[in-house]
Amino acid sequence: MSGALKDATQWYKENKELKRKTMLLMDKDAVDEGVDAGEGESTGDNDIENLNKTIKQLSAEVAELQTEVDQLKQQEFQTTEENVKLGEDLESERRKTEKLESKLGDLQKEHNQLLRVMEMMRKELEEYKQKEEDHRQSLAALKKESDAHKRERNVLAHQSTLILQGLNDSDNAGDYMMLLQEIEDLKRTLEDDRNKYEEEINMLQERLEEQQSFPPDPQVEILEERLRLAESELVSAQQRVEEAEQRLRCPPPPPPPPLPPMAPQAPLRRRRSRLLIDGGATAAKQLEEGQTLSEQKAEPSAVGGTPEKKPAAAVPCANEDIINAIKSGQFTLRKPKKEKENKDKEQQPKAVSELLNILSSLRRAPKKRQSQYIGDVQL
């Protein structure tokens, strides 16, 4: 653009100079015509023709230059308009750049502030982590102490309850003291296992909470299943221990009194509605005979001697008569009272044997469970 403007100005100057030269030449021609009027007309005509040619050429050149000047002016006008537009765009871009620079400065300040805040938060987070670690360690130590105190408290409470129930004042004081010692050992092992299982459960729950954000792992499912089995076994062991404690708390029944001498009992009773029947007397006689025979058999066995041999032919007949009388509905059987006494006698050794079996099984069970769960956790 600057080169075109220079060329246009140069052409404009040259055009002006040419116009002045043409004017001077025209003045000189007029003077020469007046001065050289006396010369030959032939030379004047030739000069006039030459001048006319030159004038035509110069006028054509001037016209061309004028068109070029007009074009250049138009281009100059367009360039000025473009320059104005570019200047406006430049100003708008400058304003935008200033705004962006101000925003960039604000963002840099905010970024620096955020960096400082992040650094402060990082330091504070490290301090909190350290405090949390110290707190966790102190909590673990306190938990161990509390578990130990809880175990001893439970053992002592159990021992005190058993002592207060008067187990030491009974006749079998040595056996009860042995059972008490065994129960104390079982209680200690149970408390140890309970604390251990609680720690394992808490640890597995923490692992489960940590792995909840990740996709499910088959190993986690296996551990959860083992955890459920461990909890069920722990509950069953606690139930067995509680049952054993309840059985120990209940004092054993006193020994039964010595058996009275065997008195003749009438297990068969005659119905009142059949008293008037003729066959009742004969059946009653047969019943009394059978009863005397059974009493004679029972007395030697109760005393401890050998029963005397009776004729075998008479007994089946009496028994058959009694059975026939019962079938006909003439007599009803009375339940003997000795069954309850025999049941009480049988229940006492069963309860004691069952209690001893439970204690022996509980003594063996915690070691097996402990070895199994240690293997499971190591897996």
Residue 79 domain flag: yes
Mean pLDDT of 363-372: 49
Identify whether residues 229 and 374 lie together within a single domain: yes
Q: What is the pLDDT of residues 196-209, one digit of tens each?
A: 888 888 888 887 77
Identify whether residues 231 and 367 lie together within a single domain: yes
Decide which of 80, 105, 130 is a domain's last residue.
105
Residue 275 domain flag: no
Mean pLDDT of 300-317: 42
List of E strands, the chain: 268-270, 331-333
Mean pLDDT of 44-71: 83
pLDDT at 378 over 50: no
Mean pLDDT of 282-300: 49
d(CA 287, CA 281): 10
Residue 111 domain flag: no
Identify whether residues 30 and 170 lie together within a single domain: no
Measured at the CA of 115, the angle between CA 113 and CA 119, to 5 degrees, comes to 115
Nearest alpha-carbon partner for 231 in 213, 208, 205: 205
d(CA 306, CA 328): 36
Higher pLDDT, 91 or 320: 91
- As to burial, measured by CB atoms within 10 angstroms (0-12 exposed, 13-18 middle, 19+ buried), residue 283 is buried
Sign of the torsion formed by the C-alpha atoms of 179, 180, 186 and 190? positive
Identify whether residues 159 and 88 lie together within a single domain: no
Identify whether residues 195 and 291 lie together within a single domain: no
Identify whether residues 165 and 123 lie together within a single domain: yes
CB atoms within 10 A of CB 318: 19
Identify whether residues 228 and 367 lie together within a single domain: yes
Q: What is the pLDDT of residues 178-227, one digit of tens each?
A: 776 777 777 778 888 888 888 888 888 887 777 666 655 566 677 777 77
Identify whether residues 10 and 157 lie together within a single domain: no
The reported pLDDT for the residue numbered 220 is 61
> What pLDDT band is residue 173 in, cutting at 50, 70 and 90?
low
Mean pLDDT of 289-306: 46
Q: Name the pairing type of β-strands 268-270 and 331-333.
A: antiparallel
pLDDT at 289 over 90: no
Instruction: Pick the range with the lowest mean pLDDT from 80-84, 251-255, 353-357, 364-368.
Output: 364-368
Identify whether residues 322 and 371 lie together within a single domain: no
Query: What is the C-alpha R_g of the chain?
Result: 67
d(CA 76, CA 72): 6
Residue 321 domain flag: yes
Overall domain count for the chain = 3
Q: What is the pLDDT of residues 328-340, one digit of tens each?
A: 666 555 554 455 5
Residue 313 domain flag: yes
Residue 259 domain flag: no
Q: Whole domain around residue 38: which residue ranges?
A: 2-105
Q: What burial letters (b/e) apply to 342-358, b meaning 16+ CB within 10 Å?
A: eeeeeeeeeeeeebeeb
The reported pLDDT for the residue numbered 218 is 66
Identify whether residues 79 and 45 lie together within a single domain: yes
Decide which of 295, 313, 329 is a domain's last residue.
329
The reported pLDDT for the residue numbered 276 is 40
Decide which of 56, 73, 105 is a domain's last residue.
105
Identify whether residues 198 and 60 lie together within a single domain: no
Residue 266 domain flag: no
The CB-side HSE value for 318 (13 A sphere, CA atoms) comes to: 16
Residue 128 domain flag: yes
Identify whether residues 225 and 313 lie together within a single domain: no
